């Protein structure tokens, strides 16, 4: 309930089940103190559930309370990060859930709502006694970070005037940030998709780069940072091709003007400010913003970049004492991920700095580098909103290129790594309503309940209707012949890649492998002889179901450990299923589907994953477990191949199928599935 109606005091009724927290008197801030004496009357006349809050010795909150209540909060700002780290430590350190609850009621009236939401989310994800608790999806708590503010005016109107049950859904407009004059607008449906931004927020929630060491230090988190963002760039590139746009132009010259403008049309409900825009032709400028304790020059970014490039060139990073530590084939990419991001696992933050994070920060303040206009950061400055900005992709295309330089230095895969002797894949095909080997896509309208994010309004659900891309569900049919004479276990790796570039010319294999989108990965027993594997698209290891992205409306915080509740914490991380397949074109966008069956005995990681949520592990890993695949993330396309064509690359345990993605410009209404 602390997540609900974030700026509304917790001693008012919270949520639909009318819960009221009864606080010790000194918990009330002065402005509400007078109300504390009238509470008993209110309880008497109401059927609310009253939760008495224990009076505990309150810890020191002076650090997190430095952030004003009505301000923006971003993890990219060092000062905010330190305050958040302090509060997370405090939350994690509370003796039991009762004390934590008590502290939260106190904080909820005093701590910046964005920061409280973040710190409490991280703490709930990482405390043993709260692991099953529900962290509501951010779009319900802070819908202002995801949609046009006009929606809230209408939603308030509706909730004040119409009683629950007869309220019509409010429509969230799409395509509102620019007109057709702006070519980048053609892919706004992807950049501004609620699910895609929720995924990015959730990923960074699960993989923070700076807080308690034990929380940051997750298995292969640096490599996952590289891989998850690499996949975003690959996916976005296909979306661009489908819409007649060229590849993302990586941003390598930090002095070059940024031609892509972005006008977010978002308001912060907490800070009562519009998110600042960036005009076309903006340049990165040195920042000097004492209020945020940010002082950084563009030249520093350049210096860090050059040092990272040198480390890759020399295949070694310099650590303290001027020692050199080699970047190995196994862990080099993980080290580089932490070094470039950077996270506290960086082997030398003093020398290699904070390249990727500061790119976000410098760009996000391009409109007011010295705070003279008292403006806050733009959307690039917050992981919840960054993916809306076309520049996000240019920045991450640069970051990805640097990672790929390291990949080009690794030994190329030969038969010993690619073959699976005795296993032949004779074919892969796709069956679905759009026809064989055709992926059908169209628009779909879905609902999200805004009630939890609407402070100081009458209770009851307020639905908002929004439009997003969707594909028809389909089935992979894979024919495998096992001639090894015994049962075997195969690891199926399925990718989809564009065939032609933006000008219709065939892509070279080297380009194609970098644009390969992971669709699924699963293990499967193979009997001796012929096997027909049928696998449904909804079971993808990359995605989470639509319902989980936006959270089941009926789900409420449940018992820790219950299956229903466990779904929402780590399990909220995952690529949104509705964006599994790129948009395609009305004529049919040609793509090549690839499958490889590798030997599960070589790839598997011995661990028990029962009861953990592991259905979107490809981009998100598994909570408290190792990444469930020993191979490099993105294998076998993570590095340049020996062969110059895809057909030469194919081994008997691989197969491809030419497919098309056919887009129908129609809108369907969401049907309940699964």
Q: What angle do CA 424, 523, 563 make, to 5 degrees?
A: 165
Pick the closer one to ligand CUO by CB: 229 or 535.
229
**Contact call for residues 549 and 198 (beta carbons, < 8 A):** yes
- Closest residue to ligand CUO, judged by C-beta, is 386
Report the DSSP pairing between strands 475-482 and 267-268. Answer: unpaired
Rounded to the nearest 10°, the torsion over CA 220, 225, 227, 231 is 150
The CA distance from 332 to 392, in Å, is 25
HSE, CB side, 13 Å, CA atoms: give it for residue 105.
26
How many other C-beta atoms are found inside a 10 Å radius of the C-beta of residue 321?
5
Interface characters, 234-263, with ligand CUO (x: CB under 6 A): ------------------------------
The CA distance from 477 to 593, in Å, is 12
Sign of CA dihedral 163, 166, 169, 170: negative
Pick the closer one to ligand CUO by CB: 360 or 577.
360
Pick the closer one to ligand CUO by CB: 186 or 229.
229
Q: Which of 127, 199, 265, 356 lies at the binding interface for ligand CUO (CB under 6 A)?
A: 356
Q: Is 383 an interacting residue with respect to ligand CUO (CB under 6 A)? A: yes
Contacts of ligand CUO in 205-234 (CB under 6 A):
229
**If we measure between CA atoms, which residue out of 494, 469, 498 comes closest to residue 618?**
494
Q: Is 268 an interacting residue with respect to ligand CUO (CB under 6 A)? A: no
Pick the closer one to ligand CUO by CB: 138 or 596.
138
Sign of CA dihedral 571, 577, 578, 583: positive
Rounded to the nearest 10°, the torsion over CA 205, 208, 214, 220 is 100
Pick the closer one to ligand CUO by CB: 404 or 501.
404
Task: Give the shortest CB-392-to-ligand CUO separation in angstroms.
Answer: 7
Task: Give the shortest CB-331-to-ligand CUO separation in angstroms.
Answer: 20
Task: Give the shortest CB-300-to-ligand CUO separation in angstroms.
Answer: 18
Task: Give the shortest CB-204-to-ligand CUO separation in angstroms.
Answer: 6
Task: Give the shortest CB-85-to-ligand CUO separation in angstroms.
Answer: 18
The CA distance from 242 to 583, in Å, is 7
Pick the closer one to ligand CUO by CB: 109 or 386.
386
Pick the closer one to ligand CUO by CB: 423 or 633.
633
Task: Give burial (CB, 10 Å; 0-12/13-18/19+) of 330.
Answer: exposed
Task: Give the shortest CB-200-to-ligand CUO separation in angstroms.
Answer: 6
HSE, CB side, 13 Å, CA atoms: give it for residue 87.
32
Q: Contacts with ligand CUO: how many residues (CB under 6 A)?
A: 8
Q: H or E element: which one contains 526?
A: strand 517-526
Contacts of ligand CUO in 390-449 (CB under 6 A):
396
Pick the closer one to ligand CUO by CB: 14 or 81.
81
**Contact call for residues 636 and 596 (beta carbons, < 8 A):** yes
Task: Give the shortest CB-672-to-ligand CUO separation in angstroms.
Answer: 32
Interface characters, 163-202, with ligand CUO (x: CB under 6 A): -------------------------------------x--
**If we measure between CA atoms, which residue out of 500, 491, 570 comes closest to residue 524?**
491
Give buried/exposed letters for 91-113 (b at 16+ CB in 10 A, else e): bbebeeeebbbbbbbbbbbebbb
Spot the catalytic one: 223, 341, 444, 567. 341
Active-site annotation holds for 341: yes
Pick the closer one to ligand CUO by CB: 365 or 589.
365
Interface characters, 307-346, with ligand CUO (x: CB under 6 A): ----------------------------------------
**Contact call for residues 441 and 664 (beta carbons, < 8 A):** yes
Nearest 5°: phi and psi at 194? Answer: -65, -40
Task: Give the shortest CB-393-to-ligand CUO separation in angstroms.
Answer: 10
How many other C-beta atoms are found inside a 10 Å radius of the C-beta of residue 173?
12
Q: Which of 187, 386, 454, 494 lies at the binding interface for ligand CUO (CB under 6 A)?
A: 386
Task: Give the shortest CB-199-to-ligand CUO separation in angstroms.
Answer: 10
Contacts of ligand CUO in 360-379 (CB under 6 A):
360
In 222-333, which ranges are E strands?
267-268, 273-274, 287-289, 294-296, 316-319, 323-326
Sites of contact with ligand CUO (CB under 6 A) = 200, 204, 229, 356, 360, 383, 386, 396
> What is the set of active-site residues?
341
């Amino acid at each position: 309930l602390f997540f609900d109606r974030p700026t509304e005091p917790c001693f008012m009724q919270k949520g639909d089940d009318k819960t009221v927290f009864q606080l010790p008197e000194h918990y009330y801030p002065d402005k509400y103190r007078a109300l504390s004496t009238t509470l008993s009357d209110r309880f008497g006349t109401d059927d609310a559930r009253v939760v008495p809050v224990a009076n505990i010795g309150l810890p020191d909150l002076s650090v997190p309370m430095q952030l004003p209540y009505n301000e923006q909060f971003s993890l990219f700002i060092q000062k905010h990060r330190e305050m958040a780290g302090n509060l997370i430590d405090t939350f994690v350190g509370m003796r039991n859930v009762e004390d934590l609850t008590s502290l939260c009621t106190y904080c909820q009236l005093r701590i910046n709502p964005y920061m409280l939401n973040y710190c409490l989310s991280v703490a709930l994800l990482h405390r043993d006694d709260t692991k099953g608790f529900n962290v509501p999806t951010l779009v319900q708590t802070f819908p202002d970070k995801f949609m046009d503010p006009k929606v809230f005016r209408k939603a308030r109107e509706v909730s004040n005037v119409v009683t629950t049950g007869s309220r019509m859904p409010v429509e969230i407009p799409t395509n509102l940030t620019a007109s057709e004059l702006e070519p980048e607008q053609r892919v706004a449906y992807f950049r501004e998709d609620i699910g895609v931004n929720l995924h990015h927020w959730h990923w960074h929630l699960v993989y923070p780069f700076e807080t308690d060491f034990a929380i940051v230090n997750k298995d292969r988190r640096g490599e996952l940072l590289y891989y998850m963002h690499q996949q975003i760039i690959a996916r976005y590139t296909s979306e661009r091709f489908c819409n007649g746009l060229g590849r993302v132009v990586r941003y390598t010259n930090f002095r070059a003007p940024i031609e892509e403008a972005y006008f977010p049309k978002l308001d912060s409900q907490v800070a009562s400010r519009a998110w600042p825009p960036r005009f076309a032709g903006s340049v990165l400028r040195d920042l000097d913003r004492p209020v945020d304790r940010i002082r950084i020059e563009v030249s520093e970014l350049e210096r860090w970049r050059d040092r990272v490039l040198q480390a890759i060139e020399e295949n070694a990073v310099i650590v303290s004492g001027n020692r050199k530590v080699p970047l190995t084939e196994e862990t080099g990419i993980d080290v580089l991920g932490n070094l470039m991001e950077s996270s506290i696992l960086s082997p030398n933050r003093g020398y290699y700095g904070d390249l990727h994070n500061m790119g976000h920060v410098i760009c996000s303040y391009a409109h007011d580098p010295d705070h003279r206009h008292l403006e806050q950061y733009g959307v690039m400055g917050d992981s919840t909103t960054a993916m809306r900005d076309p520049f996000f992709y240019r920045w991450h295309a640069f970051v990805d290129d640097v990672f790929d330089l390291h990949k080009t230095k690794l030994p190329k895969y030969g038969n010993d790594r690619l073959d699976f002797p005795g296993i032949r894949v004779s074919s892969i095909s796709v069956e679905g309503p759009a026809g064989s080997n055709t992926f059908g896509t169209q628009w779909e309208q879905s609902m999200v309940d805004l009630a939890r994010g609407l402070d100081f309004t009458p209770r009851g659900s307020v639905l908002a209707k929004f439009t997003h891309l969707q594909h028809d569900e389909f089935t992979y049919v894979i024919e495998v012949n096992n001639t090894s004479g015994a049962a075997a276990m195969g690891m199926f790796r399925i990718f989809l890649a564009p065939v032609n570039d933006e000008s219709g010319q065939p892509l070279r294999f080297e380009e194609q492998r970098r644009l390969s989108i992971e669709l699924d990965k699963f293990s499967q027993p193979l009997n001796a002889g012929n096997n027909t594997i049928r696998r449904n698209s909804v079971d993808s290891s990359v995605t989470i179901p639509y319902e989980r992205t936006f959270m089941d409306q009926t789900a409420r915080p449940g018992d820790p450990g219950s299956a229903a509740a466990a779904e929402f914490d780590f399990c909220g991380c995952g690529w949104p299923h509705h964006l599994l397949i790129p948009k395609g074109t009305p004529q049919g966008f040609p793509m090549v589907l690839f499958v490889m069956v590798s030997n599960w005995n070589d790839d598997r990681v011995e661990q028990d994953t029962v009861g953990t949520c592991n259905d979107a592990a490809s981009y998100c890993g598994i909570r408290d477990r190792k990444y469930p695949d020993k191979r490099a993330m993105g294998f076998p396309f993570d590095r340049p191949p020996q062969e110059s064509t895809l057909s030469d690359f194919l081994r008997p345990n691989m197969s491809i199928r030419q497919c098309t993605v056919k887009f129908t410009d129609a809108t369907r209404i969401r049907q309940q599935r699964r």
